[in-house]
A and B are shown apart, each in its own frame.
Chain A
Amino acid sequence: MQLDNNSFAAALSIAACSLLSGNAQAQTPEVTEPGWQFESAVMYYGETDRVQALEGIFSAKKSFEDQKLLNLKLTVDTLTGASANGAIAQSEVQTFTRPSGNGYYQISSGETPLDDTFRDTRVQFNGQWTQPLSRLYTVSGGIHLSNEYDYLSLGVNASIARDFNNRNTTLSTGFSLSNDTITPEGGIPLALADMPNYSQGKFEQDGWGSEATNAQYLATRSRDSDDKTTIDFLFGITQVINKNLITQLNYSYSQVDGYMTDPFKVTSIVDSEGITRRNIYESRPDSRQKNSVFAQAKYSLGESVVDISYRYLWDDWQVKSNTIDFRYWLPFDYGGYIEPHVRYYEQEAADFYKPLQLESDQIPEFVSSDYRIGDMTATTLGVKYGHPNNDGTEWAVRAEWYHQTSNDVGVALPGLLTADDVYSDVDAVILQFSYKF
C-alpha cells in the first residue's frame, strides 16, 4: 500500500497523537530561514599630520536552500591628507611639483616632505557565491570591482574545498585574477626622470601654465595610464585537532606583472654635503613574485577564545616579513564581549629601496624611497567591545593604535644629514563602529 503523502502526514499525526495521549497540543512547526543578514561598519583611520580615511562597509548575506550562500559587499572610502613623497627632509624650504603638474607645494625646513594632494573617493563592490558541489566538495566564486578617480580594479576568484576525515580536515585551493589600471591626473611620469625644476623658483619666474613650464612638465610624462595583472594561488589545509582547537595552514603564491611603480613617489639625489640637488621619479620592476605561509590556531578555553596567527612572506624583491597577530575573546555573562588585540609586523626592505641616492653614484635601474618597502617595524594595539541587543542585533566598537617605525637600512648619510631627516615614524589611530542586524 502506497499512501499518498498528505495521508502519510495525517496518519503519522494521528499515530503520534495517540502515542502522546492526546494532550500533546501539537503545534504546527514554525521554522524560518533567516532572511538577509546585514552587517555594517564605519571606520576612521587617521595618521598624525598625514592621511585620514573614512571607510564604510555594508555587507548582506543570504542563505538559500541546499547550503547555498550569497554574500554582497559594498565599500566606500574617502581619503584626504598628506602622504610621504619619498624625498628627504632638508634645512631649506623645498618645493615640489604636484603630480598633476597643476601647481606645487612647499615643505618647511626640517620637515619630512608630504604630498597633500591626496583626495580620493573609492567605491568597491564584492559578490561571492558559495555552494556545495557534491557531498564533500564546496565551491565558491566571486567578483570584485573597485573604482576611484584614478584607479580601476577588476577581479574574479574561484576556489574549491574538499572535506576529509569526517570533515575534520579540509583541503582547499583557489585562484584570483585581477587587473588594475591607474590613470593618474597628468599622466604617468617617466621612471627616473627629474621632477621639473623644483628648487630654482622657475615656476614663479615663468608663471604657471606658461608654455615653458608646461613643456618642462610634459617632458617628464610618458603615457596616460598603465596597468598590472595579479594572479594569486592559494592552497590551504584546515584541521580540527580536538573539541577546542582548530588550525589552518595556507601557502599562497602571487605573481604580479605590470606597472607597480608609485607615480607619486620620488627619490632625492643628494650631494656630498647632504643637500638635495634634484628629485627623480621612482622606478620599480614590472614583475613581482610573492610567497607566503600563513598559520592560524583558534583555541577555546571554555568561555574565552584565543586566536593566534602568523605569516611569513617573501618575494623576489627581497622583501621578507613576519606578522604575528594575537586576539583574546572574552565574553561577559550578559552576552557582551571584549577582545584585546596585539599585532607585530617586521619587514626587510626591497633590494631597490634607498632612502636617498648619492649624486656621485650611478642611478640604478630600479630605485624607490617609499618607506613602505623599506625596513620597517609596526605594532598595533587595540581593543574591541561587542554588545548584544535584546532584539537580536549587535553593535561593536573598536579602537586601535598603529605605530610604524622606519628602520635605518645602513645607507651612509652625507654631510649634516641625520637619520631623522631620512627615516620617520608614523602614528595612526583606528576607530570603528559596527552594527549587525
Chain B
Amino acid sequence: MDFNLEVLKGGGWKCCFSAMASPCEVIFDSTDQELVNKLSHDLVTETKRIETKFSRYLPNSVVTQINQAAGEPINIDDETSKLLQFANQCFELSNGLFDITSGVLRKVWHFDGGDRIPSNKDIEKLMALIGWSKAQLYGDNLCLPKGMEIDLGGIGKEYAVDRVVQLLRQGQSGPALVNFGGDLATTSSRHNGKHWSVGIDLKGLGENVTRVIEFSQGAITTSGDANRYLLKDGIRYSHILNPKTGWPVQNAARSITVAAPTCIEAGIVSTIAMLQGKAAEEFLKTSGFQHWIFR
C-alpha cells in the first residue's frame, strides 16, 4: 500500500499519502506503531476505494456509469444512493445553489488565469443540462436526463474524511487528526487537554503569517477560489459558478473556513457560503456555524 509513516517530533505518527488530487495525512496521537501501521493501511484502502468509486475521471466508476446512462434509469448501490440523497438535501437547503449537475459548465469555462470568456449562447446551451431537480431518484433507482452529468467532487473528499474518522474510531485509534488537502476532522480530543493547532495561511505586510486556530474536536474545511480564475477587461471571474445562471459568482470570498461536527457539513456550508458571493458573511452569521472568512 502506498503511504509513508513518519514519527513526529514530540511523539506520535503521521501517515501521508496522495489521493483525490490532494496531499492526505493522518496524525495519530499514539505511540503504538503496530496499531498505527494497521489503521494507516485500512484508511488508505478505504480512501482509495471511495476515490475509485466516485471519481468522474475513472471509466469504471459509479459516477461514470451514471453519466453514460444516456437517459436510461440505472440501479445504484446503497452507498451511492445515500450520497445522492445527501446531495439532494443540499440542493434543496441551498435553494438550488449547490447542484451536482453543474459540472458540465466546465466545458465552456476554463479557469486557467487566461481571458477566454464563453458566449451567452454557449452557456444557454449548457443550462438546459443543469438542474438536479430534473433527475429522478427513487431509492436505488436513478434516472438522469440524457446529456446531464453528475460530479461528486464537491462532497467526495469530505465524505472520505468522515468515513476515515469512523474507521479510526472503530479501530480504537485514540486521538487522530485527518487532513485531506485542507478538509480536516478529528476522532476525539487529544490527550492531556492539548489542542490540534491548525494554521490558516494568511499573508500581510511582507510576512508569511499563519493564523493558528486551536481545534480540539469536530471538523474544519476551507473553500476558496484561491487562484483559479479568469481575468478579462479588468474583471476577475471566480471559478465558483452559479448553477442557476451559468456565470461565475460575483464578489466571491477569497476563502471561507467553517467548523462543524462533521467534515461533510463543514464542506457544504463553506461551499454554499462561497456561492452566496457578497452575502457570504450574512449567510454564515445566521447559519450559526463558526467561520473565518477571507476576502
Contacts and interface: CB of A to CB of B under 8 A. Distances in A.
B217 A34 contact: no
Nearest to B215: A31
Given A135-B295, A333-B7, A30 B254 contact: no
Interface stretch (B33-41, B58-66, B79-87, B240-248): B79-87
Q: Indicate the member of B188, B207, B212, B216 with the most A CB atoms within 10 Å.
A: B207
Given A1-B92, A20-B162, A27 B217 contact: yes
* Chain B interface helix/strand/loop/mixed: mixed
A200 interface: no
A66 B293 contact: yes
Interface of B: 7, 9-10, 82-83, 85-86, 89-90, 92-93, 95, 159, 162-163, 166, 169, 186, 188-189, 192, 194-195, 202-209, 211-220, 226-227, 254, 259-262, 264-266, 268-269, 286-290, 292-295
Interface stretch (A72-80, A160-168, A407-415, A417-425): A160-168
B225 to A, nearest CB: 11
Contact of A170 (B202, B206, B286): B206
Contact of A32 (B7, B186, B194, B213): B213
Contacts of B83: 19
Nearest to A63: B211
Contacts of A24: 162, 166, 261-262
Interface in A298-336: 331-335
B9 A331 contact: yes
Contacts of A130: 204-205
Contacts of A167: 203
Contacts of B10: 334-335, 388, 390
Contact of B205 (A20, A63, A161): A161
Given A12-B265, A67-B211, A134-B295, 5 more contacts: A11-B93, A12-B89, A19-B85, A132-B295, A246-B208
Contact of B261 (A26, A161, A172): A26
A163 B254 CA distance: 13
A238 B206 contact: yes
Nearest to A131: B204
A227 B82 CA distance: 76
Given A3-B93, A20-B162, A30 B218 contact: yes
Given A16-B265, A20-B262, A30 B216 contact: yes
Nearest to A303: B9
Contact of B213 (A2, A12, A31): A31
A12 B268 contact: yes
Contact of A23 (B86, B166, B287): B166
Q: Indicate the member of B163, B192, B213, B261 with the most A CB atoms within 10 Å.
A: B261
B261 A27 contact: yes
26 contacts: A5-B288, A9-B289, A12-B90, A12-B93, A18-B85, A26-B262, A27-B218, A27-B261, A29-B215, A29-B259, A31-B214, A32-B195, A63-B211, A69-B209, A130-B204, A132-B295, A134-B295, A138-B205, A166-B226, A236-B206, A238-B206, A246-B208, A248-B206, A334-B10, A390-B192, A392-B194
